[in-house]
Structure 1
Amino acid sequence: MRISKFEEKKIDLYSREIRILEAEFKIESFGYYDFYLNYEPIENFSKSYVFINNLAYGEVQFYEGKNYSYLGELKLKPEKYTFQIAFPYEDFKINFLEIKEKDQSNSKIKNFKIRNNLSDNAKRILEFFQKIYANYIIAGQHTNTSAGPEIAYIEYITGEKPALRGFDLLSYTPATKTQEMTPHAIIEIEGNKGSIEKALEWGRDFGGIVTFCWHWYAPLGGKDKTFYTINTDFDLEKALIEGTEENKALLRDIYMIGEKLSIFRGLDLPILWRPLHEADGRWFWWGAKGPENYKKLYHLLYEILTEKFKLNNLIWIWNAPHPDWEIEEDLYDIAGIDNYVPPGNHGPMKFSYDLLLKLTDYRKLVALTENGPIPDPDLLFEYEAYFLWFMPWFGDFVFNESFNSKEHLKKVYNHEKVITLNKLRKLFSMR
């Protein structure tokens, strides 16, 4: 069927009003349906969020020079539905939404392979991930500080802890004292110190899973939080030229991080390693010079950490979900997407899941590596959005009930298909 009648409306998203296009459609029979969008050709890449019956179904992408996008696949019941899409750019115009019924789903991982050059425990945890895929989702929580009050809050509310705890390496390189530092930046850096020790405790003593990202302060400084492109003039293109001042500072930082991560290698503790995240957004300096320079930096980081430091316990996560930014499949293990939908919206994010599968040719496990509201587990499994884990950001995304209410946290953490720390200990152990 084709739907060509759309009405413009406005909704609130994170305290700002955004424009959406809305249309209704009716499904006559239970089954699987592919969604396609035909629109007026665009000059520059853009992306947007889709909502169905006011639930968030995740991210869709629009590529320059094209006018047709595959949104994803949904399993739908016979009833009326409302389709909404936020304007990805000012003069966005839809020609029609096309919905095609098909006999069966194709949105599952096929031919996932574990890299040979991984440590024994890294292989074991990936085998565990394979085993639970499509049957469970791992509860994750990012903690920006070593204290991680989010963990205590979740346990107080739900009686459970997440199985996966997220840490950041933002305080572990030397150029963190910058010009015009705000109190927030200073507090963030100081609070982050000790994260390595807490990560060791989480993995070694608690039996949890550890993931690291790296808000990499620009190696030659700038103002305030210099991982943001807008706050530094650090030039990645120059930094990739051997012998330059930028190159020396870049390598200094990588070697310092390599030394820190070597602590985990000595214990054969696997680390879910998500470096250079969200590069495709270009708001971080490691993405500011475009995909080719990002790829060169990724390759350099991979080479140093894997070959020089022998960090075969790192499970690499590619987190720049765009075809132009894609890394070779033998250089990463899991694909991740970061999505922040409206507060309190616990939709299944199925189109984000399908986007990752398509980008990875259905050959990689995929995860919701950052999010605000946690998708409702019932909806995740009903719509077959088989993310490996979810990972709310820190602070208000946990403590502010507009994002994740106490009742929602209780439901999620006590759901039979959600793996908490207690359930992880029963299902899997490194020992």
Structure 2
Amino acid sequence: MTKKILPFFLFFCLPFLTVFGQLTDINATPQTSNLYKNLSRLSGKEVLFGHQDDLAYGVGWKYQDGKSDIKDLTGEYPAVFGWDVSGLETDQKKNIDGVPFEKMKQYIKKAYDLGTINTLSWHMDNPVNSKNSWDTSSMSVKSILPTGSKHMLYKSWLDKFSIFVKTLKGADGKVIPILFRPFHENGGGWFWWGAKSCTAQEYKALWQFTVTYLRDKKKLHNLIYVFNPCDFTTEEQYLERYPGNDFVDVLSFDYYQYGGAEMGASYSQDVARNLAIQHKIAKRSKKLSAIAETGFVEVPDPNWWTNVFAAAIRENKPSYVLFWRNAGYREKEKDNHYYAPYPGQVSATDFLKFVRQNKILLQRGLQKYSIYKK
């Protein structure tokens, strides 16, 4: 190797070698493997911007072909699209947020064809009493483990999920890679799979069974598995429910800003602290680091993006960050519910500045990397 070639190698190859580990699925499809490798190459250099349900609806609109609050503001779509498959398990036509699954399939395919990324979460119902994810009245995790009374029911849910995922194919005919984030916010007490409803060992066993069943039994080779705790301030707390390096591909956490604009500094410090903890674990484990959910509802601070969020990710850049959905006005709750800006929103100008100044990738910026190819 000549001295002239060495700097090029060091800049482009060594970061990749230090970040990238083996995917959980050694039989992953070429597109899935390429996606993970390319995300690893970008890690620490650029941050992919994501938005939940971006193509389905936004503030003041719903199901308009090609529309997106982010695209209306920036001229391009997000780099990452988030979706939730709650309802698949009970044969619903629409998910928990009212998005028809047939439309969701179309949106996922469009995102892939655009050269962008899809991630799925799953607010699955309580398997013991058929109530929603937030029902914690029963020890449900134990019931769906291999020796539990609801284990066969849970396997039938995974079967339905498998059928759905296998139908997701792009214009190239290839099955679409998915960043899959099951049993999220596992350190909290609000979901039936959370810390108040199962032991750490039960949670680990559930995660390991789920990965093994989908990968080995159902032959799903297009999933990248995303681990997602919350409410941690130490490495020990982060890893309390970690199922092991052989069952996880991406490390992530969720964190929102609550209260008024005056809470911005506290939010920024907390996210920066959590990223530092997660980054340390990710580097040691050779995993990707991401923020899977975040935001400040209605973004009332006109300089929130450059003053608050930019500071939060400055030291340890996540591979991607996904902001929650723009539901707009909610009749039942009598409130506005959105986490990303749109044209005319008070923080819109600052968001454009944030994207320009912080190496934030949207759709066109990501397209040039051809992330599904070698």
Q: CA deviation at 1:370?
A: 0.5
Residue of 274, 282, 285 corresponding to 1:352: 274
Q: Structure 1 residues 187, 117: closer, same or farther in 2, change over 3 A?
A: closer
- Deviation per residue, 1:65-122 (Å, 9 max, x gap): xxxxxxxxxxxxxxxxxxxxxxxxxxxxxxxxxxxxxxxxxxx994531323322111
Q: Is the partner of 1:279 in helix, strand or coil? A: coil
Q: Structure 1 residues 195, 333: closer, same or farther in 2, change over 3 A?
A: farther
Is residue 2:327 matched to residue 1:385?
Answer: no
Q: CA deviation at 1:423?
A: 1.1
Equivalent pair of 1:210/1:272 in contact (CA under 8 Å)? yes
Equivalent pair of 1:175/1:219 in contact (CA under 8 Å)? no
- Gaps of at least 5 residues in structure 2 are 1-15, 60-66, 231-237, 297-303, 327-336
Q: CA deviation at 1:188?
A: 3.9
Amino acid in the other structure paired with 2:138: D
TM-score by length of 2: 0.73
Amino acid in the other structure paired with 2:179: L
Is residue 2:325 matched to residue 1:419?
Answer: no
Q: Structure 1 residues 350, 188: closer, same or farther in 2, change over 3 A?
A: same
Matches within 5 A, 1:32-431: 110=18, 112-115=20-23, 116-143=26-53, 147-149=56-58, 152-174=68-90, 188-194=96-102, 196-223=104-131, 226-230=132-136, 233=138, 235-242=140-147, 244=149, 246-264=150-168, 267-287=174-194, 288-320=197-229, 322-342=238-258, 344=261, 345=264, 347=268, 349-360=271-282, 362-363=284-285, 364-373=287-296, 376=306, 378-379=310-311, 383-395=314-326, 396-398=337-339, 405-415=347-357, 417-430=359-372
Q: Tell me which of the two structures has the higher relative contact order, counting C-alpha pairs closer than 8 angstroms and 6 or more residues apart.
A: 2
| Distance in 2 (alpha carbons) for counterparts of 1:404 and 1:167 | 26
Equivalent pair of 1:203/1:269 in contact (CA under 8 Å)? no
Amino acid in the other structure paired with 2:292: T
| Distance in 1 (alpha carbons) for counterparts of 2:359 and 2:340 | 23
Q: Is the partner of 2:325 in helix, strand or coil? A: coil
Q: Number of aligned pairs?
A: 310
Aligned-CA RMSD value:
3.2
More strand per residue: 1
Amino acid in the other structure paired with 2:99: G
Amino acid in the other structure paired with 1:229: D
| Distance in 1 (alpha carbons) for counterparts of 2:221 and 2:21 | 16
Q: Is the partner of 2:224 in helix, strand or coil? A: strand
Q: Percent identity between the aligned chains? A: 21
Amino acid in the other structure paired with 1:318: F
Amino acid in the other structure paired with 1:370: E
- Deviation per residue, 1:267-295 (Å, 9 max, x gap): 23211111111112131112221211111
More helix per residue: 2
TM-score by length of 1: 0.64
Equivalent pair of 2:139/2:198 in contact (CA under 8 Å)? no
- Deviation per residue, 1:238-287 (Å, 9 max, x gap): 2224472x222211111111111122377232111111111121311122
